[in-house]
Amino acid sequence: MSDFKTAFYGTFYSLMSWKQLTEFWVRVDPQAGWHLYAIGEPVPTAPASAEEVSRFVQEVDALLRRDHKEDYCAIVYADNLEKPTLIKIYDPNNLGVSCGSSKNPPLPGWVMSVMPPTEMQPKGIIPAGRQRWWQSLFA
């Protein structure tokens, strides 16, 4: 198994509240060399720029708050809540059982990783609207 997949299937901590998520984003250093990966899209070949990371965080935060109609977050997970190096962001429109209690939990919609990710295949079809949203971020 690759180093990325070993880390991907390791221990993660959930950001349970919207307040925790807001505080967490402040600790994500946009200049840390993040690879931004949408599951089902081509794997990034290089880290995103600090500007791209900042834009992604802003846009994905807005998407999560708009589409996850709950009074809690619990769909963003990080390997370390203080100094993250791997972040899984679940798509509110494809949650299934994301907490890992299922034998076949869905993959996240998006991954932020300081380690180059390896290709992961979604279990279903990625909606065209989500693909357009992702592609518009870097157009």
Quick: pLDDT tens for 43-71. 999 999 999 999 999 999 999 999 888 88
- CA torsion sign for 49, 51, 56, 61 is positive
Q: Residue 39 belongs to what domain range?
A: 3-137
Query: Crossing angle of helices 128-137/50-67, nearest 10°?
Result: 150
Instruction: Please count the structural domains in the chain.
Output: 1
Beta strands in 19-131 (DSSP E): 35-38, 76-78, 86-89, 110-113
Q: Is the pTM of this model over 0.75?
A: yes
Q: Extract the tokens encoding 110.
A: 């998006």
